[in-house]
Amino acid sequence: MTSLDDYLTEKTLLDLAPPKAYVDGAAAAEHGSVRILERDEKHLRAEVAGSPMQTSELRLGADGLRWSCTCGEAAGRLCHHLVATALATWPTEVPDDAE
């Protein structure tokens, strides 16, 4: 069974988001602008800080990945809020050069 986590790979995000949205989304995630509100296998909802704050939602249904964002710019492509939301669910990589 496919879960949303399996779906939200870097490749998927790069395919679905315009390059600028990907870059801006990665920056927003890195700066901790994302607050996850709900998360389960098939559904992800988060607030992304900004002016104004936006609410992004990703859902995995029978017909594939669906998304929406209150910014209104997520028709057809992912906006940077959605990219940030997806990236915020990735495990944080811990540098292994701590010695």
69 near Zn ion (CB under 5 A): yes
Given a contact cutoff of 8 angstroms between Cβ atoms, the answer to whether 7 and 61 are in contact is no
Within residues 39-58, the interface with Zn ion by CB under 5 A covers 54
Nearest approach, Cβ of residue 48 and Zn ion (Å): 7
Three state DSSP letters for 34-72: EEEEEEECCEEEEEECCCCCEEEEEEEECCEEEEEECCC
Cα 7 to Cα 22: distance, rounded to the nearest angstrom = 16
Judged by CB under 5 A, the residue of 79, 86, 87, 88 near Zn ion is 79
Cα 40 to Cα 20: distance, rounded to the nearest angstrom = 28
81 near Zn ion (CB under 5 A): yes
Given a contact cutoff of 8 angstroms between Cβ atoms, the answer to whether 80 and 31 are in contact is no
Nearest approach, Cβ of residue 39 and Zn ion (Å): 18
67 near Zn ion (CB under 5 A): no
Q: Which stretch binds Zn ion (CB under 5 A): 10-18, 35-43, 72-80, 86-94?
A: 72-80
Question: Where along the sequence are the contacts to Zn ion (CB under 5 A)?
Answer: 54, 69, 71, 79, 81
